[in-house]
Amino acid sequence: MNNLKLVRENARISLNSIRSHLVRTILTVAIIAFGIMALVGILTAIDAVEYYLTQNFAMMGSNTFNIRNRSMRVRIGNHRTRAEAYSIITYRQAEAFKDRYNFPAVTSTSIVGTGMATVKYKSQKTDPNVQVTGVDENYLATAGLEIDRGRNFQPSEVTAGDHLAILGSEVVKKLFKRNVNPIGKIVSIGPGMYRVIGTLREKGSSLGFTGDRACFLPLNNVRQYFSRPDMNYTISIMVNNPKQMDAAIGEATGLFRQIRKDHLGQDNSFSIVNSDNIANMLIGLTGNITIGATVIGLITLFGAAIGLMNIMLVSVTERTREIGIRKAIGARRRTIRNQFLFEAIVIAQIGGVLGIIAGVIMGNIISMITHSAFIIPWLWVFGGVLLTFVVALVSGIIPANKAARTDPIESLRYE
């Protein structure tokens, strides 16, 4: 009970002292808050970016991987990953893989016809930035796209190259006003006319990859009407059981090496890409940013610790007579030391709490820009509270001990 009363008394005296030196306290709190804000804010922003990368690349599906003729190239600042380019994947190779791959999975073949098409319906038309992709009947499933209205392509329509189209949601909004049903309508895409048989649910953008501003045509139609030399195909595989992903990739690698006639001991002449690999690659490149943010925050906190120690030393000097009076009426050394230490902790924790709140807000501004989720980095929140407590102890222990060792006689004579 006596200890509780002593803590309350120390708290009251500390708060009165803080109020009596308000300007100096505000400056110290601001320095501490800025350091914590820099640390928590940047790390919150990095968590938001990592969440954005993980969620958006998961658009490919956690159980989906692609076979391409080019590996991914990622660049952040001066750091980049090297992209390997190989010979094109031909239609015959893609179809041979699709026919011979017997793993429990769904396999599709696709080809980009153009990324600058204009789609027209009567007097309405899109900007010349619509991507036309030739796909088979399995592509929507492997790409994680869903039909909103209408239906998917039939295998016979893909083989025959029929003039049919499935439109992304952004294209539908641009062409069909006043809730006009696009199913069955005839639209102009590039050099041909196509009947709309389906529309896609809105998916959103994923680092530039989107199914909303796109239209999908039967594979053989794009091969014929958007033909160009050296057309390069992409093979997508969606594994039925995500736990079998490694096995599926291993079997796909072995089969496609046979199809591409890669010799024993020779590197793969193709690249296998999945969403986890891409996200981890990008997240790995943010490691230096995290280190830099931590260093900046710790340097700022070091400056704040010096400022807090200074304000406490000045406070000890200014309150020498008060210390002498308290000792004269029976205050112990421990009581005096705890009083000044408590004062340092209060100042540091006020700064820490304000810094954490400001840091979370600043970090989530980045989250809003990237359309990520609202992030509260609980690890760094508790870490910030602990860090400010350590700063308070380190900064306050020397002034507190100085106050505790003050001679009461000399203190009473101090002017």
Q: What is the pLDDT of residue 288?
A: 67
Instruction: Please report the pLDDT score of residue 208 as a whole number.
Output: 47
Distance CA 381, CA 296 (A): 17
What is the pLDDT at residue 263? Answer: 86
SS3 of 116-131: the string is EECEEECCEECCCCEE
**Which tokens sit at 387?**
């860090």
Q: How far is residue 87 from each of residues 69, 233, 329, measured CA to CA in Å?
A: 6, 11, 91
pTM of the model: 0.59
* pLDDT value of position 85: 65
pLDDT given for residue 121 in this prediction: 92
The residue length of the chain stands at 415
pLDDT by residue for the chain (415 residues), tens digit each? Answer: 566 676 677 667 767 777 777 777 787 788 788 878 877 887 777 777 767 666 655 555 557 888 988 755 544 444 444 456 678 899 999 999 999 999 999 999 999 999 899 999 988 999 998 999 999 999 998 888 889 999 999 999 999 999 999 999 999 999 998 788 999 999 999 889 999 999 998 876 544 455 688 999 999 999 999 988 889 999 999 888 878 888 999 999 999 999 998 888 888 888 888 755 555 555 555 666 677 767 777 777 777 777 777 777 776 666 666 666 666 666 677 777 777 777 778 888 888 888 888 888 887 887 777 666 677 777 777 877 787 788 777 777 777 776 667 665 555 554 5
**What sign does the dihedral 94-99-102-103 (CA atoms) show?**
positive
Residue 330's pLDDT is what? 66
Yes or no: say if 166 and 149 are a contact pair by the CB < 8 Å rule.
no
Number of Cβ within 10 Å of residue 125's Cβ equals 15
The answer to whether residues 72 and 257 touch, using CB atoms and an 8 Å cutoff, is: no
Neighbours of 77 (CB within 10 A): 8
User: In 3D, which of 332, 334, 339, 335 has the Cα closest to residue 316?
Assistant: 339
Q: What is the pLDDT of residues 180-194, one digit of tens each?
A: 899 999 999 988 999
Q: Is residue 170 a contact partner of residue 122, using CB atoms and an 8 Å limit?
A: no
